[in-house]
Chains A and B, each alone.
Chain A
Amino acid sequence: MHNPMREEEWATWLRQSIAGDAPAYRRFLQAVTPYLRGTARRYCERFGAPPAEIEDVVQEVMLAIHLKRGTWDSSRPLGPWLSAIVRNKMIDTMRRRGRQVMVPIEDVIEVLEAEEPASGLSQHEAEKMLAHLKPPQRDIVEGISLGGVSIREMAARLSMTEVAVRVALHRGLKKLAALYRSDQS
């Protein structure tokens, strides 16, 4: 990997998050975002997807990283795991977006340096997909993501237990990932 220092830092944060450190997890996700954006831009350019789709791709891949983080063996380096999961998901989503994908594409690890400052705004899909969630799930995912409401506040607002809110949030995120998978547009 081009930048072993950064990889080590990311790995440390992800390890801490597995041990229950939520702020460390947020740092990890925020640090990974520019890398995902750079990679998504290259894939979109390569397969002729409009730049408007970059942020949708970033969000889809981020959901996959989140839901599959348990497949990382934290005693091993993070780089190979992260590259493999990003590459698989990028190819997958390009295929679904109707682009001809010829594997192998050059290793994602090669483009780790390509970072991307951007608005971070997804054009359409995430909103469209939120609308597919059922009411309590949608309120919870929307409130926590867009509104920045905490789990506890959300529980009070909906008169639910915190555990129930957590379960609904987790199911909502899984549902979003499944919607990305099934979306053919």
Chain B
Amino acid sequence: MKTDDLINAISEDAPIRWSLGRIFALAVIVGTAFSAVLFFVGFRPRPDIAAAAETWRFLFKFVVTASLAVSACGLILRLVRPGAGSGGWRLALIVAPLLLAAAVAVELMVMPSASWGARWIGVNARYCLMLIPLLALGPLACILYALRQGAPENPGRAGAVAGLAASGIAATLYASHCVDDSPLFVATWYSLATGIVTVVGYLVGRRLLRW
């Protein structure tokens, strides 16, 4: 086949209807909606949420999880566009861990060391490790599917960042159900759950996102 012949076929192909940004936004919305339905049907926010919402520890969980979701989503869109550079999003991704580390330091300073163990282990650690990955499945699947339209230089890395974004979305929902608010708990168990989802994202992305 001549290259000119290939050009014949390619130039007859239909134009793109949806931009990559729109496809990605739709994937995030659909994935989040899927998890939200699962969450409100199956788990629901904790009963004392009104009282909890007046404590900084409870509110801080959302600051961390939401900043993870937003920064990971921002970075993904850069990773799947060749030659785009990260435009600061790579740095943005460390905001969530930094905030969490700072909160852990404060918690250790203001709380007596006798209470550290109980705050660290919490009451829901096992739930946390199961529910965050479960709630992350929908967003992860939608995001990875959308990213097949992209062209990541490193498919595994793009998949891992998709895992971080999905964890951020899942953890934001789960945080309203979870009664463990200490940064010690969040830094340990939320991070572990996020790690699981990120590894899954990496493994699937490495295969699925090749182009």
A positions within 8 Å CB-CB of B: 17-20, 22, 25-26, 29-30, 33, 55, 58-59, 62-64, 66-73, 76, 80-85, 88, 119-122, 126-127, 130, 141, 144-146, 148, 150-151, 166, 169-170, 172-173, 177, 181
Cβ contact within 8 Å between B3 and A58: yes
Nearest CB on A from B192, distance (A): 33
Let me know if B208 is at the binding interface, CB within 8 A: no
A29 touches B10 (CB 8 A): yes
A81 partner, pick from B1, B8, B83, beta carbons under 8 A = B83
Known A84-B82, A170-B14; contact A145-B5, beta-carbon cutoff 8 A: yes
Partner of A69, one of B5, B12, B16, B80: B16
B81→A81 contact, CB < 8 A:
yes
Most buried by A among B8, B82, B153: B82
Nearest A residue to B11 via CB reads A26
Cross-chain contact B81 with A120 (CB below 8 angstroms): no
Bound complex: CA of A38 vs CA of B151, how far in Å? 23
Q: A85-B83, A120-B3, A145-B6 are in contact. Are A29 and B11 (CB under 8 A)?
A: yes
In the complex, how many residues of chain B place their beta carbon closer than 8 angstroms to a beta carbon of chain A? Answer: 31
Instruction: Provide the residues of chain B in CB contact with A33, threshold 8 Å.
Output: 3, 7
Q: Please name 29 pairs of A and B residues whose Cβ atoms are closer than 8 Å in the assembled complex, sorted by A.
A: A17-B15, A25-B10, A25-B11, A26-B7, A59-B3, A59-B6, A62-B7, A66-B13, A68-B150, A68-B151, A68-B211, A70-B19, A71-B150, A71-B151, A73-B84, A80-B84, A80-B85, A81-B83, A84-B82, A121-B3, A122-B1, A126-B6, A141-B9, A144-B8, A144-B9, A146-B1, A151-B12, A166-B13, A169-B12
Asked if A71 and B82 make an inter-chain contact with CB atoms under 8 angstroms apart, the answer reads: yes
Q: Is B131 an interface residue (CB 8 A)?
A: no
In the assembled complex, the CB of A180 is this many whole angstroms from the nearest CB of chain B, namely 11
Least CB distance from A138 to B in Å reads 12
Contact with A along B80-105 (1 / 0, CB 8 A): 11111100000000000000000000
The yes or no answer to B191 lying at the interface (CB within 8 A) is no
Q: How far is the CA of A169 from the CA of B85 in the complex (A)?
A: 33
Inter-chain contact B12/A29, CB cutoff 8 Å = no
Q: Is the CB of A59 within 8 A of B13?
A: no
Chain A residues with CB under 8 A of B13: 66, 166, 169-170, 173
Q: How far is the CA of A180 from the CA of B6 in the complex (A)?
A: 14
B151: A residues at CB distance < 8 A: 64, 68, 71, 85, 88
Bound form: Cα–Cα A134–B9 in Å: 16
Q: Which residue of B lies closest to A21 (CB)?
A: B15
CA of A55 to CA of B2 in the docked complex: distance in angstroms?
Answer: 8
Q: In the bound complex, what is the Cα–Cα distance between A146 and B82 (angstroms)?
A: 31
B25 CB to nearest A CB, Å: 14
